[in-house]
C-alpha cells in the first residue's frame, strides 16, 4: 500500500539537506544532535537519531580512589607523545 508523502527536502550543491520541521518534531531532534542512516534488508534507507555518544564511554571511567597527580602526569605524557 502506497503512503502519502510525509515531508520533502532539497539537496544543496554541497549535498546538505534541511530536516523538515515535522520530521524534527517526530524524531525529537535538537540543535547539535546526530542522526544515523541505516539500510534495511530490502534496501530501504532509514534515518534515526543517533545514540548519545557519551553512552559509548560507559564503563571506561575508573571508579574509586585514584592518584590525581599520577593521572595528570600520564595525561601530559600522552599529549607530549603526540607532538614528538
Q: Which pLDDT tens digits describe the chain residue by residue (84 residues)?
A: 556 778 899 999 999 999 999 999 998 898 988 899 999 999 999 989 988 767 667 777 777 787 889 989 998 999 999 888
Q: Whole-model pTM?
A: 0.52
- For the chain, the structural domain boundaries read 1-56
The whole-number pLDDT of residue 2 equals: 55
Q: Which residues on neighbouring strands pair with residue 46, listed in sequence order?
A: 38
DSSP for 23-79, please give it.
HHHHHT--TT--EEEEE-TTS-EEEEEPPPGGGGGTT-S--S---HHHHHHHHHHHH
Answer yes or no: are the C-beta atoms of 35 and 29 closer than 8 Å.
yes
Whole-angstrom distance, CA of residue 52 vs CA of residue 34 = 8
CATH topology for 1-56 is: Pemi-like Protein 1; Chain: D (2.10.260)
Comparing C-alpha atoms, which of 33, 78, 29 is closest to residue 54?
33
Amino acid at each position: 500500500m502506497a503512503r502519502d508523502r510525509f515531508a520533502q527536502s532539497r539537496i544543496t550543491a554541497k549535498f546538505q539537506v534541511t530536516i523538515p520541521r515535522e520530521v524534527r518534531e517526530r524524531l525529537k531532534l535538537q540543535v547539535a544532535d546526530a542522526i544515523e542512516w541505516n539500510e534495511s534488508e530490502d534496501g530501504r534507507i532509514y534515518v534515526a537519531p543517533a545514540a548519545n555518544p557519551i553512552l559509548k564511554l560507559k564503563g571506561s571511567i575508573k571508579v574509586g580512589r585514584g592518584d590525581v597527580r599520577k593521572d595528570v602526569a600520564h595525561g601530559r605524557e600522552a599529549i607530549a607523545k603526540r607532538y614528538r
